[in-house]
Amino acid sequence: MSYFSDAREVIAGGVNSPVRAFAGVGGEPVFFHSASGARVQSEDGREYIDYVGSWGPMILGHAHPEVIETVIETARDGLSFGAPCVLETRIAEKVCAMLPSVDKVRMVSSGTEATMSAIRLARGHTGRDKIVKFEGCYHGHSDSLLIKAGSGALTLGVPSSPGVPAGLAEHTITLSFNDIDGVRSAFAELGDQIACVIVEPIAGNMNMVKPVAGFLEALREECTGAGALLIFDEVMTGFRVARGCAQSLYGVEPDITTLGKVIGGGMPAAAYCGRGDVMASIAPDGPVYQAGTLSGNPVAMAAGLKTLELIDNDEFWTALSATTQSLVDGLAAAAEETGVPVAVENEGGMFGLVFTDRDRVSTFDDVAAADVDRFKRFFHGMLDEGIYLAPSAFEAGFVSAAHGAAEIDQTISAARKVMATL
């Protein structure tokens, strides 16, 4: 008997999201029982320093007392109304205040819903069918986007999933991330048929890959020139890499932004948002339909709003970025001391670690060529040392405000020990 074998009896694959199944690292997944701050406790009584943070939402740390308190207070007044409530207005006001590119917001319940709806909005608003995405970027599991995708699809080796009709897939143009010439060629050939480009401004689903100089600017220029919409999928980078999201770091304004994870504070909430004239195309104002029973759920709104309120100050970001930097510097030093070639990356509360002899990974091919077997050994070695990393070589890592010097020191000490065995 194991928690996983029990789960597999009644849950497809034993998990409710594939990347959790440890298929990317081998072995059986750890079943969590509880979490607090930077640490999680497993059902079998172990404690780990957590660098997954529910894949990004837990930027304040797990079970933050103010977030928990507001969830309890809000829940006491009812869980869901299916009618407007003022909390929805408040969080939309907060997102608009934090993102200059956003005039209007539509809340949904998952990042997949947000990107799926943003694609439909772009197609409806422009009257065009083709979309552009980038290999290795993951935007959730809607049909048009599950083509050469990253994250779990890449981890499991099914980046283009069965079940997506060829007639739909043919409208998705997949280019190489950071390939400016490829973008310009695609627009030269098909520009007037392209409804939108969707991109993770910092890719976090093929480990962590930053845009090269001019890449995001080229997307902006080509979209504007062709009358296509630029969608920044900031479900992961949103309020994770900077107070103003990735778009504030690169000075490129998208037409639509998708958000998730942090804006739910650990509860199911996500959003698509952007230019008022574009968002005016969404029902009930416009003809593009999208709906959701639990969209804007008051409890999720309360958790997300409290989270945004607590991170909306420069001191938070200065401290979080410093903690992440100290982690990444320590990992790089441990690798140097043990002669293990790695490339590291970080921004705000997000980091990447790739086992490669390249100084930096800039393309999907760079990441695909990394030493996945060495990562698997590193993952399990760190797990044995009480450090919980993302169970995939193709995922980014996340630091919270609850990670302090003690957690970083313990992590670096473990990394030095484990890397020496690789």
Would you name the residues annotated as active-site residues? 138, 233, 261
Half-sphere exposure for 284 (CA within 13 Å, toward CB): 1
Segment interacting with ligand KE4, rule: CB under 6 A, options 76-84, 109-117, 320-328, 375-383: 109-117
Binding of ligand KE4 by 112 (CB under 6 A): yes
Residue 30 or 340 having the CB closest to ligand KE4 = 30
Residue 247 or 326 having the CB closest to ligand KE4 = 247
Task: State which amino acid sits at residue 332.
Answer: A
Of the residues 50, 88, 347, 395, which one makes contact with ligand KE4 according to CB under 6 A = 395
Segment 153-182, which members bind ligand KE4 (CB under 6 A)? none
Task: State which amino acid sits at residue 188.
Answer: A
In sequence order, what are the residues at sequence separation of 6 or more whose Cβ sits closer than 8 angstroms to the Cβ of residue 271?
95, 105, 106, 107, 108, 114, 258, 259, 260, 263
Binding of ligand KE4 by 235 (CB under 6 A): yes
How many residues are listed for the chain in this entry?
Answer: 422
Of the residues 2, 5, 11, 17, which one makes contact with ligand KE4 according to CB under 6 A = 17
The pair phi, psi for residue 338, each rounded to 5°, is: -100, 0
Q: Is 369 helix (H, G, I), strand (E, B) or coil?
A: coil
Closest residue to ligand KE4 using C-beta atoms: 111
In sequence order, what are the residues at sequence separation of 6 or more whose Cβ sits closer than 8 angstroms to the Cβ of residue 414?
381, 382, 385, 386, 387
Shortest reach from residue 152's CB to ligand KE4, in Å:
5
- Asked, as a colleague might, if the bond just before 268 is cis with ω within 30 of 0, I would say no
Of the residues 70, 101, 117, 151, which one makes contact with ligand KE4 according to CB under 6 A = 151
Segment interacting with ligand KE4, rule: CB under 6 A, options 156-164, 170-178, 198-206, 414-422: 198-206
Segment 272-331, which members bind ligand KE4 (CB under 6 A)? none
Segment interacting with ligand KE4, rule: CB under 6 A, options 4-12, 136-144, 219-227, 239-247: 136-144
Binding of ligand KE4 by 186 (CB under 6 A): no
Of the residues 233, 366, 371, 407, which one makes contact with ligand KE4 according to CB under 6 A = 233
Token pair, residue 253, equals: 């304004």
Q: Give the integer Cα–Cα distance in Å for 297 and 107.
A: 9
Of the residues 29, 53, 111, 266, which one makes contact with ligand KE4 according to CB under 6 A = 111
Torsion angle defined by CA atoms of residues 66, 72, 78 and 83, in that order, rounded to the nearest 10 degrees? 20
Shortest reach from residue 344's CB to ligand KE4, in Å:
18
Contact call for residues 53 and 32 (beta carbons, < 8 A): no
Segment interacting with ligand KE4, rule: CB under 6 A, options 4-12, 108-116, 120-128, 373-381: 108-116
Q: Give the integer Cα–Cα distance in Å for 144 and 28.
A: 32
Segment interacting with ligand KE4, rule: CB under 6 A, options 80-88, 137-145, 339-347, 414-422: 137-145
Contact call for residues 282 and 121 (beta carbons, < 8 A): yes
Token pair, residue 227, equals: 């009358």
Residue 149 or 335 having the CB closest to ligand KE4 = 149
Binding of ligand KE4 by 260 (CB under 6 A): yes
Task: State which amino acid sits at residue 124.
Answer: G
Binding of ligand KE4 by 222 (CB under 6 A): no
Shortest reach from residue 396's CB to ligand KE4, in Å:
7
Q: How many helices (H) and strands (E) does the chain have?
A: 15, 14
Count of CB atoms situated within 10 Å of the CB of 216 = 24
Site residues (vs ligand KE4, CB under 6 A): 17, 19, 55, 110-112, 115, 138-140, 151-152, 200, 204-205, 233, 235-236, 260, 270, 395
